[in-house]
Amino acid sequence: MTKHNFNAGPCILPRIAVENTAKALFDLGGGLGLMEISHRSKDFQAVMDEAVALFKELLNIPEGYQVLFLGGGASTQFCMVPFNYMQKKAAYLETGVWAKKALKEAKLFGEVEVVASSADRNFCYVPKDFTITGDADYFHITTNNTIYGSELRVDIDSPIPLIADMSSDIMSRPVDVSKYALIYGGAQKNVGPAGVTFVIVKEDSLGKVDRKIPTMLDYRTHIGEGSMFNTPPCVNIFVLKETLKWVKSLGGVSVMEEMNIKKAGLLYDAIDNSKMFVGTVDKDSRSLMNICFVMQEQFKDKEEDFMKFAQAAGMVGIKGHRSVGGYRASTYNALPIESVQALIDCMNEYESKNL
């Protein structure tokens, strides 16, 4: 049976990236495998250099920015950001669980102003009419809300340094990097496996706080050492590099965006036209990456039954996050449109049998 991988992360990867990594685990090209080769070797330096170059090319990153590959996940960035950027005050947009966690860490360093929040309606929308605090040191946003299924798909203009957690929608659309001081995220959605974190940082935005920053938490440390101050997650960076090569081979992030709009559109149309299922996010805030839906109220008693039906049909990972329930289909870059259609067919079949 064909398995359709809708997991929210770690998630589906391009098959070619997995296959090439499997080969490299045995031999990177010089007789030693990827897991055992020195990160200081010429062979791995070439991997790192290509990964950085691909990131810069695919996102059209301007001069003056550096690309880093670090450990610790996006959650470590929640404290690295205020360590490096907050002098007295920061501004945050509260759009979900991960945004809340980021601002919680920032409160350890100084005053945090929540510029706007969608908590009043359980994060089913992205606030749009807000004024960015002009006296803050930076403004932090989380562009995609994996748990609730909302997304901010525009690069906003900010009067202060703009910092974004793009863990779950990086490489899914073109980004005007010049509008940001820093972009970061865990790779385990669109660009690789769990275990490596990407950081795109504008060099001249650093060095403006008075506090002493621990060596490992100072972005300048990693810029100076080319992401190799300590041993980097070599295997994960290799997978990331192979994934970026795949994105480039298909035409880049603009093509990814076209594919993602098409995939999400198919599934949202099916949900909107269903008599059994209903979406949970305002239409103007819907994510292209994480599509959340539930049973209509009169069919709530069939939620678990549909889950079993879908699993038997090969649908993997469509159970909603434990904090919200329902269903979630993550339609990241590597998910083929055939899998989206298979889910739609599964929903339609179940509906026809149970109305």
| C-alpha atoms less than 13 angstroms from C-alpha of 214 in its C-beta half-sphere | 7
Closest CA to 33 of 242, 235, 244: 235
| The amino acid at 122 | N
Angle at 133 between CA 127 and CA 134, to 5 degrees: 140
Residue of 189, 202, 241, 263 marked catalytic: 189
Residue of 137, 165, 169, 218 marked catalytic: 165
User: Look-up: residue for tokens 């938490």?
Assistant: 217
**Is-catalytic flag, 98?**
yes
The residues facing 141 across adjacent strands are 164
Between CA 134 and CA 89 the distance in angstroms is 10
**Is-catalytic flag, 189?**
yes
**Is-catalytic flag, 241?**
no
Residue 334, C-beta contacts closer than 8 angstroms, at least 6 positions apart: 11, 12, 13, 14, 190, 243, 246
Calculate the CA dihedral of residues 175, 177, 181, 187 and round it to 10 degrees: 60
Active site residues: 98, 165, 189
